[in-house]
A and B are shown apart, each in its own frame.
Chain A
Amino acid sequence: MTRNRIKVRPGDRIFKNLSVGAGVIVVALIGLIGLFLLVQAIPALRANNVNFLTSRIWETSDPTHLQFGILDLLLVTISTSLLALIIAMPISLGIALFLTQYAPRQLARPFSYVIDLLAAVPSIIFGLWGILVLAPRLSGVAEWLNRNLGFIPIFANGNVYPNFSGTIFTAGVVLAVMLFPIITSLSREVFERTPTPQVEGALALGATRWEVIRTTVLPFGKAGYIGASMLGLGRALGETIALAIILFIPRGKNFDYSLFDGGATFASKIAANYSEFNNPTSAGAYIASGLVLFVLTFAVNFAARSIIGDKKGA
């Protein structure tokens, strides 16, 4: 890049500034999102009559007497996301291994395309399918778990009992399906990059296919897989309309640590109550919960990208 003697043409300067400017805009956007949400949330937080972080009450219809706390939203958000992750992580690992190690060469590409199609289905359709089609079929499983394992708190009667469809359980299963393509695509990318000499070395030592995977692919791809799962977690935390459709919100009952509870996540709560956005103070309460969601997803994505970035740089 020793082009000092060549004079910089104006066209070049303009174009470069434009492209740098676009970069600056994108970088600034993240800051702006946080800033605007914070500024709009502060008046509502000031007017709040209960503790924002530890209260389980959410009464925002009367702007002169606001009461809102996020504890219940946080617990429901975390439990749906965790359930989804527990289901999706092993299955996505299987899919990624299948696509990179097991699927016949010619079919690997069309098969990957099929998995990617899952990501193209709008989440509102997943939500409708989840509550109208899947939930009735799944409620048998849920009732069986509840009847036989009900002594374990997470399988106890939920706060929407005897309803077994609009529960965290159903929501988690649907959410897991939505996470498959996300976790799979990045894991696949990393698994594909396993150094061939390692694979061939393992094969030369007489390893079976599974032993090759266990000794080369998995150790090499572990960080990428964990990073991908965290990206999935970020996605699960923020999923809105599918959960708003599925989760049944019981009146005046709190989340009670059962998978068969109903409730609302941060995102689904906002989506379910958009009609309360008619006055700025009530809207501020929802913006405050949106801010918490933003911080949560930011942290999760930050961690995920750091893990993946380390691996990609290597």
Chain B
Amino acid sequence: MTSTLSDTEQPALSPAFQQVSVGRKVKNGTATVLVWLSFLLAVVPLVWVLYTVIVNGIKVIPYSNWWTQDFGSVLSDEVGGGVLHAIIGTLEQGLVCAIISVPLGLMVAIYLVEYGRGGGFSKVTTFMVDILSGVPSIVAALFIYALWITTFGLPRSGFAVSLALVLLMIPVVVRSAEEMLRIVPDDLREASYALGVPKWKTITKVVLPTALSGIITGIMMALARVMGETAPLLVLVGYSAYVNWNLFNHEQAALPLLMNNERATNTMDPGTVGFDRIWGAALTLVIIIALINLIATGVSRMVAPKKK
């Protein structure tokens, strides 16, 4: 590995040039080794984390109870029960978050690409989207707490969580949608204008369908990302061991919240109920995230413009 030279690195006329000195060869070799090593160093924790989750979580999830029951009917240290209540919460909160953030984020992206086009306010918007993407999830949660619970006097609920997730999801949706809209060729827009189609119809009927496949991928990835957030759940909703479909009132579980709750109430030693539950929930969460990503790939293939 240390001294193999590819064709492009071979001097054109070898006699005319000096050989690559030992020092330079050593430096080049060291750099190559270090660079490979750092990549491997990043792969190790990924594989390790996934391995841990799968090996520890696989014990509980094959049982149908796990997917169809809640923990309401079992004691906190009793084997059995399931995470249906948390799955419902995670999906419901994520879905409502998406319903709010997708139109908003999409409109911002449309503004940036179709109307703003590098003007003063569009620069400010781009910058603010960037800043928003750097807002920590706990700060988003505190903001919704200050707005929804202290100022409006509304109860802690799953919907408050959705609102906090909106803040985290919007920048991701805007970024990805913006990128996709930008690569739609201007020829398409101009052809549509030439036919006398109004601008808004050009955007909704020509530009958006062309970019749709990529936009859907971006939205699903963003959704998968926010579903794994824990901080907003801690501040904005209480944990319940029972199924609760009501997003606007009472405690509602979610997978990360359930994990945190088990961590706080049960011991984490291998073989205990708490250990099984927490890793089972972790694996369930990973599976849901993986499924969403898979669906994203599938749907975006389906709606992708036909290539000839």
Is the pairing of A and B real?
yes
Contacts of A134 in B (CB 8 A): 48
* Range class of the A interface residue count: 35 or more
Instruction: Name the CB-closest residue of A to B38.
Output: A94
Partner of B136, one of A210, A238, A309: A238
A302 to B198, CA, bound (A): 38
* With A26-B170, A287-B146: A19-B114 Cβ-Cβ less than 8 Å: yes
Partner of A40, one of B112, B114, B146, B230: B146
B247 on interface, CB distance cutoff 8 Å = no
A144 on interface, CB distance cutoff 8 Å = no
> 10 pairs across A/B with beta carbons < 8 Å?
A15-B204, A22-B104, A22-B105, A26-B132, A37-B143, A122-B229, A206-B9, A213-B31, A240-B136, A240-B231
Of residues 226 to 248 in A, which have CB atoms within 8 Å of B's CB atoms? 231, 234-235, 237-241, 245
* Range class of the B interface residue count: 35 or more
A161 to B146, CA, bound (A): 38
Residue pair A267, B231 in contact (C-beta under 8 Å): yes
Binding site for A on B (CB under 8 A): 8-9, 11, 17, 20, 24-25, 27-28, 30-32, 34-39, 41-43, 45-46, 48-50, 52-53, 104-105, 107-108, 110-112, 114-116, 121-122, 124-125, 127-132, 134-140, 142-143, 145-147, 150-151, 167, 170, 174, 198-201, 203-204, 221, 224-225, 227-231, 234-235, 256, 259-260, 263, 268, 278-279, 282, 285-286, 289, 293
Residue pair B231, A26 in contact (C-beta under 8 Å): no
Query: In the assembled complex, how far is the CB of residue A114 from the closest CB belonging to chain B, in whole angstroms?
Result: 6
* Closest 10 A/B residue pairs (Cβ): A238-B136, A94-B38, A122-B228, A22-B107, A15-B200, A301-B134, A19-B111, A210-B31, A241-B230, A208-B28
Binding site for B on A (CB under 8 A): 9, 11-12, 14-16, 18-23, 25-27, 29-30, 32-33, 36-37, 39-40, 90-95, 97-99, 101-103, 111, 114-115, 117-126, 128-129, 132-134, 177, 180, 184, 203, 206, 208-211, 213, 231, 234-235, 237-241, 245, 266-267, 270-271, 274, 277, 280, 283, 286-287, 290, 293-294, 297-298, 300-302, 304-305, 309
A257 to B1, CA, bound (A): 43
Contacts of B46 in A (CB 8 A): 114, 117-118, 121
Mostly helix, strand, loop or mixed at chain A's interface? helix
Mostly helix, strand, loop or mixed at chain B's interface? helix
* With A16-B200, A132-B268: A97-B35 Cβ-Cβ less than 8 Å: yes
Partner of B35, one of A102, A119, A293, A294: A102
Contacts of A240 in B (CB 8 A): 136-138, 230-231
A271 to B234, CA, bound (A): 7
